[in-house]
Structure 1
Amino acid sequence: MFREVLGFLAADGWPVAPDSFDGVPCIRTRFIGTDDAWDCRARPYDPFGQLAFESVLPLTVGPEQLDAVTQLAVRANWRLLTGAFQLDLDSGELVFRTMVFLSDGVELPEPLCRGLVYSNVLTVDRCLTEFKAAAAGDDPLQAYERLAL
Structure 2
Amino acid sequence: MYIEDIAQVYEEEELNFATDEEEQRIRFKMNTKVSPDVSFTARIVNETTALFTTILPMNIPEAKRDAVALYLNRANWGLLLGNFEMDPNDGELCYRVAGCFEENEPLADEIVRRMTYVGFNMFDKYVPGVFAIVYGNKGPVEAYEEIEAAEREAQAE
TM-score by length of 2: 0.84
Letter in 2 for 1:7: Q
Letter in 1 for 2:81: T
Secondary structure in structure 1 of the residue aligned to 2:77:
helix
Deviations 1:36-87 (A, max 9, x none): 2211111122x33111111101321122111111001111111311110001
TM-score by length of 1: 0.88
Number of the residue aligned with 1:129: 128
* Aligned alpha-carbon RMSD (Å): 1.9
Q: Which ranges of structure 2 fall in alignment gaps of 5 or more residues?
A: 152-157
Q: How many residue pairs get matched?
A: 146
Contact 2:133 2:139 in 1 (8 A): yes
Q: Which ranges of structure 1 fall in alignment gaps of 5 or more residues?
A: none
Question: Are 1:138 and 2:153 an aligned pair?
Answer: no
Greater C-alpha radius of gyration: 2
Secondary structure in structure 2 of the residue aligned to 1:81:
coil
Letter in 2 for 1:90: N
Number of the residue aligned with 1:10: 11
Runs of 4+ displaced beyond 6 Å: none
Number of the residue aligned with 2:100: 101
Letter in 2 for 1:144: Y
Secondary structure in structure 1 of the residue aligned to 2:122:
helix
Deviations 1:83-137 (A, max 9, x none): 1000111121000011111122222210111111122211111112111222333
Contact 1:59 1:132 in 2 (8 A): no
